[in-house]
Amino acid sequence: MFSPHSSLRKSFWVKRIFPLFFVVCLVMGSALFSSCDWNGGDSGGGSLTGTWNSGSDGYEITNTTLKYIGVAGYSFTSNIREIIEFDRTSGVIIVQYITHPTAYSPPGNFQGVYYKDLTASSVKLGSAYDVANPGTPVEATSLPLAREKFKQENIALYGGELTAATPQTRQ
């Protein structure tokens, strides 16, 4: 009636095979869930990296640098120091100049580049400027000051052109 081997088989399955099976299932499940799009598909947003062009100016954005190619004297190259998202399709890229614009002497090394209406193929981009006095430079002298100056609450002061900006298209 009693088989001496049945308890050994059960012990082998419970102690050796079941934990291994559980670990494999856990790893596979984690991989599947981590690749899910929790935002419900293409509900806006996209990647800022790439080359963007509006016909009159453009931006080249990598994971670490931002280059503005525009009107003579206003072009610049910079390191991206921080990207602050306001929502899935808008925010500000805080950059530190590598090469300054030559048309004026910026009062600091940090600039904000606002973005809005980001999709996979287009975005509105604009360097921060003083809306009340467009000829006044708005750079900041440090990263903490740039964070404070170019925050979402100040977009009406420094990013007003985004409402009427020509969208940049991905090249």
Q: What end-to-end distance do the CA atoms of the chain give, in Å? A: 77
pLDDT tens readout for residues 116-138: 999 999 999 999 999 999 888 89
pTM of the prediction? Answer: 0.73
Sequence length of the chain is 171
Torsion of CA 36, 47, 170, 114, to 10 degrees: 140
What token pair was written down for 112?
A: 């904000």
pLDDT tens readout for residues 30-61: 433 333 333 333 445 689 999 999 999 999 99
